[in-house]
Every structure is written in structure tokens, then in C-alpha cells.
Amino acid sequence: MRVIGVRFKKMGKIYFFNPEKWKIKKGDKVIVDTTQGIDIGEVEIENRILQCNKSYQEIKPIIRVANKEDLKQYEHKLKKEKEAFDICNEKIKEYKLRMNLTDVEYRFDNSKLLFYFTSDIRVDFRDLVKDLASIFKTRIELRQIGVRDEVKRIGGNGICGRELCCCSFLGDFETVSIKMAKEQNLSLNPSKISGNCGRLMCCLKYEQEVYEEKLSRLPTVGTLVGTPEGNGIVENVEILNEIISVKIGSGEESYYRKYNVKDVKILKKAEYKIINEEENEHKKELEELEELEKKDMKNREQ
């Protein structure tokens, strides 16, 4: 089935639609029917053959390619969103609510007005909603988002110097953990493995499957191995290169040799344990960071 991929927000999730008779290219604006109502989005993927278990009926057709009137309405929508942002901010100050407004979104058909905000507490905004509904004469929804979502909307550059992954190509946030940093032998200094959002960097996930696959078959530190020069204990593992450093002999007569893992034989496995001195140095900060990660994951699941 031929489909097109449409985004409704910058770096948001891509949804697939049936282009039917319309000739559509990347960058075109299209009008579609979503579960939230009629909306306008931009084509990110054109003419892709989708092979999946979904029936054709589940892939909705687009309504039309946006015409001049639609584009004019879209520009007007953006202008109204800026005005709504300023008005809501004033109301938040008036009600003295502990919340930070980050974005405003009008549905294309004006059926709903969404306000996105962050807060470190649970906010009672019922009076605010009533006030906004009387001003804008439409359905109002306030949606609390996490710090990752906030940074994604604001934008910025990472410590690598490039635009943040969440702002440039990452559509969905995946779960990351400190265990990933340990297995990849990265610095466990929270300032070096955290992103602009104050959470663990999303890029920890990118190579994790490779590390897991290699660690599943590589000997760990402390493993007794047989080498061409005799038996020895694994002292260090270069995971990506699949090279191990082995201590052969004992006392003053001991020496070290490096071997490719395929050139040694595992005689007695050691319990897998990641040793990193920085873990103890930053133990409290790492525990707090891990708790925040668990909290974020729980919120996303809800």
C-alpha cells in the first residue's frame, strides 16, 4: 500500500495516511482527519510502500492538499497561538500558579485549544480553565509535560556541538538508564552523561544493543581463560574491539598480554560486575538521576 508520512509538530511523531489520487511531495501541507479532529500537517515521507499487518481501512486517506485558503487559516492559527500564549501567561501570574507555560496549540478546526506546561508539583488549574474557556470560547485543555518535552520544544545544542537529537530527528523518547553508561564504560559523572534537560542523554540508547550483544559472549573481568602462553585472569575488556587484557602468572613473574577474544578459551567465568570509581564518587547524584528517570518513565507510560 502506498502511503505518506505526516508530522503535525516539529520533530513530532510521524503518522501515515493514504494519499489516494493526490500528487504529493515532501514539504507539502495536507489536511487530514485525525482522532483529535481535522488538522493540518507537513509531509515528511512521500510515496512509501507500507508493509504491515494493518488493514487498509486503518490507514485513513488525506482530505486534500492544503489550498491557499487552508494556508491562510494556518498562518492565522499560528498568530492566535502567540496571542493565547501571552494571555494564558498573564492569567497564570494572576492566579499565582506554580507552572511554566511552554507552548500553545490550536486545533486547525478551532475545536480545541491546548496549553502545555511544566511543573514540579500537581497544579489545581480548574479556575484557570474556566477563565480561559470564557475568553476563547472553545474547548480548553491544559497538558502537563516533562522536562524532555520542554527542551524538545525549546531547542538547543548538545555537548557534542550538534543540534539536540530530540529537536532534529528523534520522534519518540526511549527509556535510558545509568546501567547503559556503565556497560559502555562511560564517565559516570552526571554532568557528562546528562543532556540539556537534566536527564540522561538519549544517545546512550543508540549503541546499547551492540554492547549487550558483545557483553553476552565476551569474558568479564576476573574470568579465568586459557591463552597460547598459559592460563590467566582477564584484567580489562575492550568491548567494541573484542580484545581482552590478560594477567598471566603471579607475583613478580606475572605479565600482561592482549588477545583477540577468539584466541582464548574461557575456563571459569567470573560474575559480571562493572567497576567504576566514579560511581562511588557521584553515588548520591546518580541515585537522584536514576529516580528522576524512573519517574519520567512512569509518567510517559501513564
Tell me the torsion sign for CA atoms 231, 232, 233, 235. negative
Mean pLDDT, residues 230-235 taken together: 92
**From start to end of the chain, where are the E strands?**
2-7, 15-17, 29-34, 37-49, 64-65, 100-106, 112-118, 139-144, 224-227, 230-238, 243-248, 255-260, 265-268
**Residue scoring higher pLDDT (50 or 162):** 162
How many angstroms separate the first and last alpha carbons of the chain? 33
Question: Which pLDDT tens digit goes with each residue over 4-18?
Answer: 999 888 767 788 898
Question: Which pLDDT tens digit goes with each residue over 252-270?
Answer: 888 999 999 999 999 988 7
Mean pLDDT, residues 135-156 taken together: 87
Q: What percent of the chain has pLDDT over 90?
A: 46
pLDDT of residue 259: 95
Res. 54: pLDDT tops 60: no
Q: Give the chain's domains with CATH numbers.
A: 2-66 (no CATH), 72-145 (3.30.300), 171-206+277-301 (no CATH), 221-268 (2.30.30)
Res. 274: pLDDT tops 60: no
pLDDT of residue 277: 65
Mean predicted lDDT score pLDDT of the chain: 87
pLDDT of residue 135: 95
H/E run at residue 79 = helix 68-95
Mean pLDDT, residues 118-132 taken together: 91
Instruction: Label residue 276 by pLDDT band (50, 70, 90).
Output: low
Instruction: Label residue 120 by pLDDT band (50, 70, 90).
Output: confident
pTM over 0.85: no
pLDDT of residue 43: 93
pLDDT of residue 159: 87
Mean pLDDT, residues 58-79 taken together: 92
